[in-house]
Structures are given as C-alpha cells and as structure tokens.
Amino acid sequence: MVSKWPKTYKDLAWLVKFRLQVSSTPALSGVEALKVSAGILNAQLAFKNPEADYLSTVTVKNQAVKAQGWCVVTSNRLLKNLD
C-alpha cells in the first residue's frame, strides 16, 4: 500500500494500520464481534485510492463518489446537547 500510494502513507504507519482495519470484516458474530477491531481483510477495498470516498448501497459495493462534505461533531458540548 505504501509503494502504491506514497504521498498518502509515507512515514504514517498508523494510517496503514487504520486502513487495514476499516477494510476488514470481523470473522466472528454476536457479542464476540464487538470485541475485535479487525478481521478478514478485503484486499480490493484496502488497495483502492485512499484519497477518494466510497459508498456502498444494496446494489453497488464500494463505488467511488464525490462527497460534498461530512458531518463531524467537533465538540463534547454538542454531544451533550444531542442527548
């Protein structure tokens, strides 16, 4: 991954680990699945362009999309107001 996307992953081992974790599926089910942070790697997804956003629907899996933006909570105060 580092050799394919050097601008993204150069000197960022934690980002490679994160990408591998989010592109894998736990091999367990039920309560046990909640205790693991990774599982069986989806190599096709892991090696896609890390600079792009991907969307999965019922009919299409991991389609590259152009997202306008993401909703992100930036304050604990906002989280408390949502309760």
Q: Does residue 36 form part of some domain?
A: yes
Q: Does residue 25 form part of some domain?
A: yes
Count each helix (H run) and each strand (E run) in the chain, helices first: 4, 4
Q: Does residue 54 form part of some domain?
A: yes
Q: Does residue 27 form part of some domain?
A: yes
Q: How far is residue 53's CA from residue 63's CA, in Å, rounded to a whole number?
A: 8
- pLDDT higher at 68 or 51: 51
Range of the domain at 26: 6-82
Domain count along the chain: 1
pLDDT per residue as tens digits for the range 69-78: 777 666 555 5
pLDDT per residue as tens digits for the range 13-60: 899 988 888 888 777 777 877 777 667 888 888 898 888 888 888 898
Q: Does residue 75 form part of some domain?
A: yes
Q: Does residue 1 form part of some domain?
A: no
